[in-house]
C-alpha cells in the first residue's frame, strides 16, 4: 500500500508529462495533470478508459462530441474516446487510464 498527497504533488509541464505518472501497473496508470488559468490540454485519442478526478479548480472537458463542466470534488469517467480540456481558472486533476482488454 502507498499513500499519495495529491494536493502537494509536484506537477511537470505538458512537455514532461511522463514525469507526472506516479503509479503504473500493467492494467492502468495514474498521473497528475495541472493546467494554468486559460490552459488547454490538446486533443488526445485515448484507447483506454479514463477517469478524471478534479482536485482543485474546474475545467470544460470534451469527450467525442459531448461537453461537460467539472469542478473540485467531481469526476468524469469515459470509454475510449477523443478527449480535450480547457480551463479558465486553472485546474489540477488526477487522471487514471485503464487499459482496454
Task: Output the 3-class SS for the chain.
Answer: CCCCCCCCCCCCCHHHHHHHEEEECCCEEEEEEEECCCCEEEEEEECEEEEEEEEEEEEEEEECCEEEEEECCCEEEECCEEEEEECCCCEEEEEEEEECC
- Cell triple for residue 17? 508529462
Mean pLDDT, range 87-96, rounded to an integer: 96
Give residue 17's pLDDT band: very low, low, confident or very high (50, 70, 90): confident
Give residue 100's pLDDT band: very low, low, confident or very high (50, 70, 90): confident
Give residue 15's pLDDT band: very low, low, confident or very high (50, 70, 90): confident
Whole-number average pLDDT of the chain? 94
The predicted model scores a pTM of 0.90
What would the pLDDT profile of 37-75 be if each residue is shown by its tens digit? 999 998 999 999 999 999 999 999 999 999 999 999 999
Fold adopted by 21-99: Jelly Rolls (2.60.120)
Give percent of the chain above pLDDT 70: 100
Amino acid at each position: 500500500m502507498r499513500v499519495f498527497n495529491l494536493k502537494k504533488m509536484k506537477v511537470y509541464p505538458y512537455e514532461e508529462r511522463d514525469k507526472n505518472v506516479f503509479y503504473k501497473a500493467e492494467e492502468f496508470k495514474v498521473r497528475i495533470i495541472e493546467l494554468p488559468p486559460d490552459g488547454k490540454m490538446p486533443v488526445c485519442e485515448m484507447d483506454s478508459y479514463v477517469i478524471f478526478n478534479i482536485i482543485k479548480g474546474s475545467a470544460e472537458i470534451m469527450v467525442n462530441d459531448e461537453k461537460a463542466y467539472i469542478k473540485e470534488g467531481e469526476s468524469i469517467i469515459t470509454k475510449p474516446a477523443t478527449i480535450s480540456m480547457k480551463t479558465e481558472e486553472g485546474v489540477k486533476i488526477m487522471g487514471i487510464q485503464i487499459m482496454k482488454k
